[in-house]
Chains A and B, each alone.
Chain A
Amino acid sequence: MSDKTIGIRVTRFRPEQEDAPTEQVYEVPYQEDWVVLDALNYIKDHIDGTLSYRWSCRMGVCGSCGMMVNGEPKLTCAAFLKDYYPNELVVQPLAHFPIIRDLVVDIDDFMDKLKAVQPWIIREEEKPVAEGEYLQSPAELKEFKQFSQCINCLLCYAACPVYGLEDVFVGPAALALSYRYNLDSRDEGYAQRTVVAASSEGIWECTFIGECSVVCPKDVDPAAAIQRTKVETTTNWFKSFLMPWGNK
């Protein structure tokens, strides 16, 4: 190990001993190929075993190590120390969520919203298994594939100023997933999802700031999904007004 070190300023919150979050600075060996998560693991293993944070895959797939790094929502497994060295690094829990302990936030609000948009294939009538799969062409897959890359890491919620102001907002990831299933050629759940997605708490809360798409580590582009849903909903609204005999 090199002799160089880097300071990591971490948010601490231990509800049994303090009323409000505080900070603690740890001096960690600096390795050029280390990410912030490696530094946190070093602290946990060698300096202070009481530090709490979420992580699992350490390769940008599980979406559990999202934190604020120098004020920006990042997957800590993809944020390299070398991009911050030699300056001290500030690691905080994801913004806009209640803190449970240290860097661990309460994501129940998101889980409820995710469930509300029913991000799974809805069929009016399931065909019997004997009739085989629901086939889909590569072109039909391409329609929604980008929006299906979401790993629920919640960086978009931490980046969204609207969600920070209005916690009723359904939010970027849930709306992008709603759009993803609406685009799926096998799906018939548009009407059920629209009740949530096109409600006042859904797409209409969004003012197209676009930070969700900037911070997304999987290039999902939730801002585009929301804008397209707005255009679609508006087109349907004018259609229903001009052609009331139509279906939508």
Chain B
Amino acid sequence: MSYKQDKTEPFWWGLFSAGGVVAAMLIPVLIYFVGLAEPLGLVGAEVSGYEAMSKLLSHPLVKVVFFVVAVLPLYHAAHRIRFMLHEFGVRKLILPIHYFCYGGAIVGTGLAAYILFYLF
């Protein structure tokens, strides 16, 4: 039998893997702050209010961190969805699925870059 050599696979898996680490380690903290602590009033507006957040985001290093946190999990999701569809028996349209999943992540990357580095 012949074995296909797909040279792009390590690249996508690398992003998937990095996205998994970010999603597991950092997203819960963000969910806690934005989804729980702030609405429940556990932290004041001086910590997580709009003014405080936009001031925080004005620092370029913070922008980079937020960019990484927002973007890498997109590639994690893209890779997972691609494999999940495959395991659910979707064996046709392999190339369109690739374009849809990774393309979506790339569009998300552009959007995050636009918002973080252009709008702010």
Contact = CB atoms under 8 A, between A and B. Distances in A.
Interface SS of chain A: helix
Contact of B13 (A168, A234, A236): A234
Interface stretch (A24-32, A71-79, A194-202, A215-223): A194-202
A234 B3 contact: no
B87 to A, nearest CB: 6
Nearest to B5: A199
A236 B87 CA distance: 28
B99 interface: no
A25 B32 CA distance: 56
A96 interface: no
A242 interface: no
B3 to A, nearest CB: 4
Which 8 A-B pairs rank lowest in CB-CB distance, beginning with the nearest? A199-B3, A237-B10, A200-B4, A234-B10, A234-B14, A204-B9, A200-B6, A196-B3
A229 to B, nearest CB: 11
B17 A234 contact: yes
Contacts of B14: 234, 237-238
A233 interface: yes
B13 A230 contact: yes
Contacts of A234: 10-11, 13-14, 17
A207 B87 contact: yes
Given A165-B87, A231-B17, A201 B11 contact: no
A212 to B, nearest CB: 16
Interface of B: 1, 3-7, 9-11, 13-14, 17, 83, 87, 89
Interface residues on A, range: 20 to 34
Contacts of A236: 10
Given A165-B87, A195-B3, A237-B7, 6 more contacts: A201-B4, A231-B17, A233-B10, A237-B10, A237-B11, A237-B14
Interface of A: 112, 116, 161-162, 165, 168, 195-196, 198-202, 204, 207, 230-231, 233-234, 236-238
A19 B40 CA distance: 65
B1 A204 contact: no
Contacts of B1: 112, 116, 168, 201
A112 B2 CA distance: 12
A202 B17 CA distance: 17
Contact of A200 (B5, B83, B87, B89): B5
Contacts of A112: 1
B3 A201 contact: yes
10 contacts: A116-B1, A199-B4, A200-B4, A202-B3, A204-B6, A230-B10, A230-B17, A234-B14, A234-B17, A237-B11
B26 to A, nearest CB: 20
Contacts of A195: 3, 5
A237 B4 CA distance: 16
